[in-house]
Amino acid sequence: MSDPERILRDARSALPEPDPEATDRARAAVLGAAAGRPLHRTRRLAVGGLAFAAALAAAFVAGLALASGGSTKTLADGPGFLPAAGWETFQTGLVREPQAPTATAATVPLGHDVLDETFPWQTIATLQQGDVLLEALFGQTGDIAGIDAEFPRRSLPLSLEDGTAGLGLEGQPTGISALRLYARVNGWNLELLVFTRGPLTSGPRAAAEAELRRLVVPQGRPGPLERRPALQQARGRCRPSALRAAVQLQGATGSLLGAIRVRNTGRRACDLRGRPTVELRDANGVLLKTRQTSQPPLWKQLGRPRPVGWPTVHVRPRTDAQVEVRLSNWCVVPVKPVFFRVYLPGVGAPIPAPTRVTLRCDDPRAPVSLAVGPVEPLTR
């Protein structure tokens, strides 16, 4: 049994239940999805999701009560690192799809890139000899066939002996070394990255191993807010192997307007329907923080007649459908290219679409704004 698990077990009888503020914060994280916020359509939530959120909040209430020293930027209700003397920690807690939880622990002050939930290249660049930064990314198991196989089953505490050193990641600052460790732990797919200035020597390595022993990964699959759009293949819908996507954007008064064009490269006609969920990821596969909202189809914006058969779009071989998009407030680390990952309703896998984004930042503390329309016929 890991140190955090034993601490939590032993503390269960000695510590009080989570205070009302912590419980309310956990409940709000779950119920926020049903409150009409623009990030996410309203959905019915299971009682189990509330219990899961409360359990996560309880874990961190207990853990923070027992941790000595250190500082944390949030009392998060999700997986993450317990603080300790000489460390700063941050964890996103429960997040709304298509985002995924992340957690950061460092022996240097955490910059706004961490607090804004973008990949912490700016904070990593401040590392000096002897400093270390740990970045953990948590994904749901069972979403896409074959992905889970890349994450070997491991138990806590994790060991850097199982990691791969000498990585060269796009955007990695000069003089920074990186180690990556994949693990499937307690129902989560976990990617751990360890960054140091120069080689990972004995001092930073021992410090990183000690902080890994303070990693809390709650037992069980993530709650409802972590789940990606349904990936089951619907009858008559286009198969993912037959689809190719490309992003076309052009500037307009501080925004980029354009479309995701989806081509049927198969030999048979097929159907697309509905509004997709779109993830933005950098060249390292790191999920970028976005706020996705809805917008009407282009044909309606232009005042044109409703297309025949819409909202179903019949896509013949070697022809395209489109999804209208608008992008603004690009305040993320400029790692290029950017990958749009498009989850089309009824299609059994996400469709990737790389592009490059050059756009101004209007509010550094706000996420990227991404407005997405429904699938529609290609407008000429």
Q: Sketch the domain layout of the chain as residue ranges.
A: 3-226, 240-377
240-377 adopts what CATH topology? Immunoglobulin-like (2.60.40)
Amino acid 76: pLDDT = 38
Q: Are 262 and 345 in contact (CB under 8 A)?
A: no
State how far the Cα of 147 lies from the Cα of 140, in Å rounded to an integer.
Answer: 10
Rounded to the nearest 5°, which phi and psi values hold at 252? -160, 105
Question: Residue 65 corresponds to which tokens in the numbers above?
Answer: 């009560």
* Predicted TM-score (pTM) of this structure: 0.47
Bridge-based pairing state of the strands 368-377 and 290-294: parallel
State how far the Cα of 280 lies from the Cα of 342, in Å rounded to an integer.
Answer: 9
| Total count of residues recorded for the chain | 380
Amino acid 61: pLDDT = 40
Tell me: the pLDDT tens digits for 73-119? 433 346 788 878 899 888 776 555 556 778 899 999 988 888 766 78
Q: Where are the alpha helices (DSSP H) in the chain?
A: 3-11, 20-31, 47-66, 112-115, 121-125, 202-212, 298-301
State how far the Cα of 279 lies from the Cα of 106, in Å rounded to an integer.
Answer: 27
Segments of the chain scoring below 70 in pLDDT: 1-78, 93-99, 116-117, 143-146, 219-232, 252-253, 283-286, 333-336, 380
